[in-house]
Structure 1
């Protein structure tokens, strides 16, 4: 009887772990798409930094109580680009409606070579 209780407890814990990890994956919502388009427009189409190859960068940010964008990290190998993104985006007002304040967002940005 004791072994049966242990087996049931282990099975229940493993099931809850599996469902908890699969539930955290979400599709990008309409708000995230609006935030991405607004960020891309703030960065501009012409970035004054030369890239050797096309690169995908992930920008992590959050929105403060004044509806301003606060850049947390920029996942890029070039420090010039990190500085450029932070100078262009940090503490800029956002127009996107429905964005949750205090939540961390991650937005992919693709950099292309001309």
Structure 2
């Protein structure tokens, strides 16, 4: 097992465990991207709309969050924003296609 397999395997395990514990999936792609494919049950909050109001609503969920996007760049930004705003348990799944494969394998 290589270093990347170890690192990404660990992320996969953390994300799947969080989902088992009731994590909500937040997809930070644009609405146009989201309408062409998404994970059932995910909530679309585009990164540019991840403002104070949206973050307050996410805090009220009182659940871990899993963020995803197309490639992992926007979800990494979203994770940082959420953590900076007091949401302690946030996981970056990266691209939504990968997360979909993880959930259906």
Greater percentage in strand = 1
- Higher relative helix content: 2
TM-score, scaled relative to structure 2: 0.27
| TM-score normalised by the chain length of structure 1 | 0.26
